């Protein structure tokens, strides 16, 4: 806030110590403008304008030009610039406050809709990384969730067609349905069918714009404590299985089904792929915003190729390294929402009776 005063003093010093008979009084008009730029207080340009007018009269008296056209024009210009600075500062502060309020609401909505994933969920360690493409937004059309149920750990990741508030509403409908269906349905394909019905109902009840064209790509995975894993894929990029000593392997299903919203909900009968996971195995789920990230030459990000170099440390560290690597590949902000969900199978070993006795003695 001292910068306008420094500018004013510099103009005064230049005028007083200059041998020229020409006054530099008109340069003072820049001082109130500078005040409007550097301060968030709306009254500050007016205060600086008042001090600048005093300085202008001091210079005019020193050069004996009071009442002359140059001095009168300078006084008027200073007042005008100060008034414009006050208006612009007021508008800027209001816009900044509105943006801060919008960001706060978006963050609250993100915490409600996209809840944080615990480090451990049942028999898996989990981590998530999400980056919204929209400027100043923390939520978009990508969705994810991990829940622990009596049927095992179940996770979902999806990508809603489109952007904006409509995409957020669709994501909210799908996530709400998943959080209920994951606990109620013992079969993973029935969870997908439940989501299809819920999505169709939500789109028609809310008069969703472009309801006939709306769809959601979706990937469901369930991990049982014994290492049995099930995968259901509805038009989503295949997850990658990372096993120690092996290259990442995509878990492609022999038969694919379209995204939710394309078929009639009654026709959604996705196949279920069953695999065995070993302790330490990692399964990476992601949205197309990751694999479709392009560099300046238009080359896509080679996720399967880069994953082994980033798979160092725990799940959170792996996803942080992956995100940083994607950003380096692109060289700028990502152009699409990007979500990554990493599940690491680490079964909880049952405690033997003698171990329990030793633990009680130590306590």
351 inside domain:
no
Domain that holds residue 272: 118-345
Q: Do 69 and 23 share a structural domain?
A: yes
Q: Do 131 and 277 share a structural domain?
A: yes
Q: pLDDT tens-digit profile of 209-263?
A: 555 667 899 999 999 999 999 999 999 999 999 998 899 999 988 777 899 888 7
252 inside domain:
yes
Q: Do 234 and 330 share a structural domain?
A: yes
Q: How many domains does the chain fold into?
A: 2
Helix ranges (H only) for 133-247 are 164-184, 188-205
| pLDDT for res 94 | 85
Q: pLDDT tens-digit profile of 170-212?
A: 888 899 999 999 999 999 999 999 999 999 888 877 665 555 6
| pLDDT for res 101 | 66
Sequence-separated (6 or more) residues with CB below 8 Å from residue 353: none
| pLDDT for res 37 | 79
Is the pLDDT at 334 greater than 70? The verdict is yes
Q: Do 180 and 248 share a structural domain?
A: yes
High-pLDDT (> 70) share of the chain, %: 84
Q: Tell me what the mean pLDDT of segment 269-278 comes to.
A: 92
| pLDDT for res 343 | 97
Q: Do 40 and 15 share a structural domain?
A: yes
pLDDT category at 108 given cuts 50, 70, 90 is low
Q: Do 226 and 196 share a structural domain?
A: yes
Answer yes or no: are the C-beta atoms of 109 and 168 closer than 8 Å.
Answer: yes
E strands, the chain, are 120-121, 124-131, 142-149, 152-160, 216-223, 228-234, 240-242, 249-250, 273-276, 282-286, 338-345
DSSP 8-state secondary structure symbol assigned to residue 209: T
Is the pLDDT at 359 greater than 50? The verdict is no
Strands in 120-121's sheet, in edge-to-edge order, are 120-121, 124-131, 338-345, 282-286, 240-242, 249-250
CA dihedral (35, 41, 47, 51) in degrees, to 10, reads -30
Q: Do 221 and 314 share a structural domain?
A: yes
Residue where the block lists tokens 């994607």: 326
- pTM of the entire predicted model: 0.70
Q: Which of these three, 105, 128, 144, is where a domain ends?
A: 105
Q: Do 58 and 23 share a structural domain?
A: yes
């Amino acid at each position: 806030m001292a910068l306008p005063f420094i500018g004013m003093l510099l103009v005064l010093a230049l005028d007083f110590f200059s041998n020229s008979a020409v006054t530099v009084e008109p340069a003072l008009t820049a001082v109130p403008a500078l005040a409007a730029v550097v301060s968030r207080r709306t009254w500050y340009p007016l205060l600086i304008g008042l001090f600048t007018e005093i300085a202008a009269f001091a210079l005019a008296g020193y050069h004996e030009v009071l009442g002359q056209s140059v001095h009168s024009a300078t006084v008027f210009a200073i007042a005008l610039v100060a008034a414009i600075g006050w208006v612009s500062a007021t508008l800027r502060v209001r816009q900044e406050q509105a943006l801060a309020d919008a960001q706060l609401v978006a963050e609250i909505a993100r915490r409600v809709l996209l809840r944080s994933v615990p480090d451990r969920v049942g028999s898996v360690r989990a981590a998530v990384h999400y980056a919204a493409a929209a400027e100043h937004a923390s939520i978009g059309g990508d969705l994810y969730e991990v829940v622990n149920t009596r049927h095992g750990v179940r996770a979902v990741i999806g990508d809603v067609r489109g952007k904006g508030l409509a995409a957020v509403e669709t994501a909210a409908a799908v996530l709400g349905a998943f959080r209920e269906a994951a606990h109620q349905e013992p079969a993973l394909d029935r969870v997908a069918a439940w989501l299809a019905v819920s999505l169709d109902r939500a789109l028609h009840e809310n008069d969703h714009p472009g309801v006939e064209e709306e769809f959601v790509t979706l990937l469901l995975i369930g991990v049982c404590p014994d290492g049995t894993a099930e995968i259901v894929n509805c038009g989503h990029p295949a997850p990658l299985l990372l096993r120690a000593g092996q290259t990442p392997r995509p878990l492609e299903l022999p038969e694919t089904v379209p995204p939710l919203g394309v078929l009639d909900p009654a026709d959604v009968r996705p196949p279920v792929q069953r695999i065995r996971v070993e302790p330490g195995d990692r399964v990476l789920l992601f949205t197309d915003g990751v694999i479709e990230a392009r560099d300046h030459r238009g080359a896509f990000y080679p996720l399967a190729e880069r994953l082994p170099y980033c798979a160092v440390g725990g799940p959170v560290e792996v996803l942080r390294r992956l995100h940083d690597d994607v950003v380096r590949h692109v060289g700028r902000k990502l152009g699409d929402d990007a979500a990554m969900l990493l599940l690491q199978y680490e079964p909880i070993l049952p405690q033997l009776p003698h171990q329990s006795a030793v633990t009680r003695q130590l306590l």
